Structure 1
Amino acid sequence: MVDKNHQIKYYEDLLERHGDTFLSLDWNSQDSQKLRFKIFADLVKMFDNNKISVLDVGCGFGDFYAYFERQNYKFSYMGYDVSPKILSIAKKKYPKASFELYNIMEDKNFKKYDFVFCSGALNICFDSREEHLKIIHSMLIRMYELCNIAVGVNFLSSQALYYVKEEDLINKQYFYTKVEDVLPCVRSLTGRYVVRHDYHPGDFTIYLMKRS
């Protein structure tokens, strides 16, 4: 399992350099961040989206809450993150939202939410490829346990390696996921899933829907 303290230090070092910006969450741009949020919103549109509950795993500054609010959904929002400093900013930015310092793999809270989302939190590799894949599988299982309707999670795509800077390949900072590496775990959980590899050449999203 990933060293949580290493993970916290990574993002809080970025926060110290970049402040309250998308760069502190290791996004390339605000536009790419919003595009991923839109793909999550597409999942919600597939269902009755009146008065839904949303869990944002690895919520960062809570910007997904702001995006969802602009879509005029009636929803309750909970954001989980492991960084106290980042959560402190999120709480100040969005006082109407709820945030908790929480690790879903360590803290066994069984409260369920209609939709569970995870954007970007699985893109940074702190271990070997084999161990990181185990973390991804464990996270998928846990998030599926916590949802009533569906899970949405995105990954950096291995098919976009030609976009990658040489230094990123050398230091192995980012994890580029193969769809076929996560599908066996997805299929073990549900036969109702969608792979979205149509919105960005360097990214894909998987929807895992509860069996009806």
Structure 2
Amino acid sequence: MPIVPDGALGPPHAIDFAWDEPNYLSHFYFLPADTHDRLLSLTKNANFALAIGSAEWIRARFAPFDADRQMRDYLAAAWADMAPGWRCAYFFPPDDDWRGPVRGPMVAAMTILNDAMSGRGDNPEQADRAVWMHNLAMHVVKPSVPYTAWWEAMVARLEQTHSWTVEGPPVVDIFADRFPQGDSVSPEALMQDVVYDPAQALRQLERFVERERRDGNPFVLDETEMG
């Protein structure tokens, strides 16, 4: 079952939002206090998962206009960054090929995930990235009601399963290669009609990443590979 159910957005919706290419950051690079404060209670992995999930809604929004396989594979591979022994390859599409009100938001979503992954070892505030992705989705996903309903349900679920209060406060290991991120979160956590059990999340996540690798996703790398 996908994160965005088939047909969730109905028939293709016209591209009727503003897209300022030179100043594209203005469409999402801000932190509404109410949303940001709420997400700060979630683990870093929970916020990273939320960012991937919102990016899937952005991809679904533009699929009727540009069903580019690279974005599909990259979003799926991003889950590998939470799976032991795996990681997601860095990817940034050439600017000249990714412009305009369709591919512009698509590459903006991938850029936010790039930023989230590239700094995980330096303890970035993943809630920022989750909020930026949510802002972008709210700007471009039409109709917005299915997305906002999903968002509210998933934030509530993660508050119950992957908040620091539930998992316990992070303990920093000075010898680790990254700051505490929280327990593993699997794609099932973001599937609204699936009963999610956090105790099964690590195995679900590993199965998902292994399947993507087996199916030839070029962005899924094991920890020994460069890219």
**TM-score relative to the length of structure 2:** 0.25
More helix by percentage: 2
More strand by percentage: 1
Higher relative contact order (CA 8 A, sep 6+): 2
